[in-house]
Structure 1
Amino acid sequence: MSAVPDCQTLRLETRDGILWITLDRPDSRNAMSLHMVDELRRVLAAVHEDRAIRALVLRGSGGHFCAGGDIKDMAQARAQGTQAYEELNRAFGSLLEEVQHQPQVVIAVLEGAVLGGGFGLACVSDIALAAHDARFGLPETSLGLLPAQIAPFVVRRIGLTQARRLALTAARFDGDEAMRLGLVHFVERDAQGLEERLAEVLAQVLRCAPGANAVTKALLLDEQPLGPLLDQAARWFAEAVTGAEGVEGTLAFVQKREPRWAG
């Protein structure tokens, strides 16, 4: 199993094939500083090829997921001019791309503030669980700013019609509305329910072969034209059937037992 880097803005724990990543700046409601962005990107890179890590659970400390970008970073960038703002903004977009394409299953546990950059992280998770009283929103335009790196991922997650409404009104909404929009998959009424749902989802993920999950995720996110995409899918399928996981999975089915990765 890969060694994960030491971090100042994140709490990391690995157990039973799961990497638990907790955004840990509670005094700022886990606002996304450039330092946190850099640390998250380093963690993702460290485990990218590690199939012993089956899932990443992303959540926040202090009762909040993430309240958006760090105003202190923006103030420091102001002194350096437009180029610094561009680099700061684009770094977060790179993080969203990397989370989107991470081979492991990414599960977001959303509580408290899920705003701006936190909203963007929710949009690139594979599975999202929310507390019913979580507060979602894209506040950028109410501050005279743009959801520049976030907007494309919001559109892909919930569609253009709803993305336009949310981005152009800075409207706030709760977990129930997030589920109605298709942003999250489950909404729970209390902390115990959220933990039980998370345990259920993780048990489901661990029944799936890690390599097969990684390639399936790549297939689902591939945006090339349909014909070439299906050609690529056929090649991946043939490799899976003849690979170690395919052989073990079919043998386990015939022998009426759990495959090794689910044991």
Structure 2
Amino acid sequence: MEQLPHCETLLLEKQGPTLFLTINRPDVRNAMSLQMVAELATIFTQIEHDETIRAVVIRGAGGHFCAGGDIKDMAGARGQKPEEGQHDPFYKLNRAFGQMIEQVNQSSKVVIAVTEGAVMGGGFGLACVSDVAIAGPTAKFGMPETTLGVIPAQIAPFVVERIGLTQARRLALLGLRIDAKEACALGIVHQVAETDEELDQLLEQALERVRLCAPNATAETKALLHRVGHEPMHKLLDSAAEKFAEAIRGAEGAEGTMAFMQKREPKWAGDTE
């Protein structure tokens, strides 16, 4: 694995096949700055083809996940005048975040969001593109943009994909803030912990399941799921059958079948490098 870069807004720690990524701006409730967006994009680009990393755990330092966009960046963009023939600085600011969140959404890794405290705006969007989302007892979720006179431009499509149009309308158009239990009922998160200890246990359980699943098969499955609804079903199923044949004839398929017959864990389950 290549050495992970030094980041100003993120703490990075690799433990076995898991990269723990901690958003580290606790003084502003981990508000998402342009620098943070750039650093997140850099990290996800670097790890995409790193076979030693199979899962990424995203959480926030200081008791909050992410409180949304950084007010200082907004103020800075307001002070810049659009140059002739160029996009508005606010467009660039907003679109950079959208490109990063789309990258996280499409990552071949299993992305696990551990949410606590404020999970607002951009932080809410980040939670909505995770593969597994676990909420702690303090987590509060919301799309407050309309109460601030702006729109959830880059996160709204991902929220609709996550929970459907009907519920996304209610959250976005009323600027609601909801607790972890309602977020779980809506499908924003998958599990809710009653205590910090339980939160850590649920994370450990999720990572244990990642360990038992073949990395290439997991990545191919995630890519297949993302294609649903975006192309004709017969075309999708034809392609999926080709992928299935490749998988079952490949190294993972052979090892998985042999491990099942021999009643042992497959080799990838012990791969922690």
Alignment of 1:1-263 (within 5 A): 1-81=1-81, 83-222=88-227, 223-263=230-270
TM-score, structure 1 normalization: 0.98
The one-letter code sitting in structure 1 at the alignment partner of 2:153 is A
What 5-or-longer segments of structure 1 have no aligned partner? none
Residue segments in structure 2 that go unaligned for 5+ positions in a row: 83-87
Tell me how far 1:16 sits from its aligned partner. 1.2
1:23–1:60 Cα contact (<8 Å) kept: yes
Deviation at 1:164, TM superposition (A): 0.4
Alpha-carbon offset, residue 81 of structure 1: 3.1
Give yes or no for contact 1:65–1:114 (8 Å, CA) kept in 2: yes
Does the 8 Å CA contact 1:5/1:46 hold for their aligned counterparts? no
Q: Sort the Cα spacing of 1:207 and 1:159 in 2 relative to 1 into closer, same or farther, 3 A.
A: same
How far did residue 224 of structure 1 move? 1.5
1:223-253 CA deviation, whole Å, 9 max, x = no partner? 2211111111011111111111111111111
Q: Is the 8 A contact 1:131 1:191 kept in 2?
A: yes
Q: Is the 8 A contact 1:19 1:57 kept in 2?
A: yes
Amino acid at match of 2:13: E
1:105 alignment partner AA: V
In structure 1, C-alpha distance between the alignment counterparts of 2:103 and 2:32, rounded to whole Å: 16
Q: Distance in 1 between matches of 2:232 and 2:218?
A: 22
Match of 2:85 in 1: none
SS at match of 1:206: helix
Whether the aligned pair in 2 keeps the contact of 1:108 and 1:125 (CA below 8 Å) is: yes
Distance apart, 1:50 and its partner CA:
1.3
1:29–1:67: 8 Å Cα contact kept in structure 2?
Answer: yes
Deviations 1:87-123 (A, max 9, x none): 1100110111101110010000000000000000000
Identity %: 59
- Is residue 98–residue 155 contact of structure 2 (8 Å, CA) maintained in 1? yes
* Greater shift in the superposed pair: 119-128 or 220-229: 220-229
State TM-score, norm by structure 2.
Answer: 0.95
> Is the 2:137–2:196 contact (alpha carbons within 8 Å) kept by the matching residues of 1?
no
* Alignment-mate amino acid for residue 152 of structure 1: P
SS, match of residue 109 in structure 1:
strand
How far apart in 1 are the matches of 2:215 and 2:158? Answer: 25
SS at match of 1:62: helix
Contact 1:3 1:46 in 2 (8 A): no
Structure 1 ranges of 4+ moved more than 2 A: none
CA distance in 2, matches of 1:172, 1:132: 15
Is the CA contact (8 Å cut-off) linking 1:56 and 1:107 kept in structure 2? Answer: yes
Query: Closer, same or farther in 2 for the Cα pair 1:234/1:185, shift >3 Å?
Result: same
Q: Matched residues in 2 for 1:96 and 1:238: separation?
A: 32
How many aligned residue pairs are there?
263
- State the superposition RMSD in angstroms: 0.8
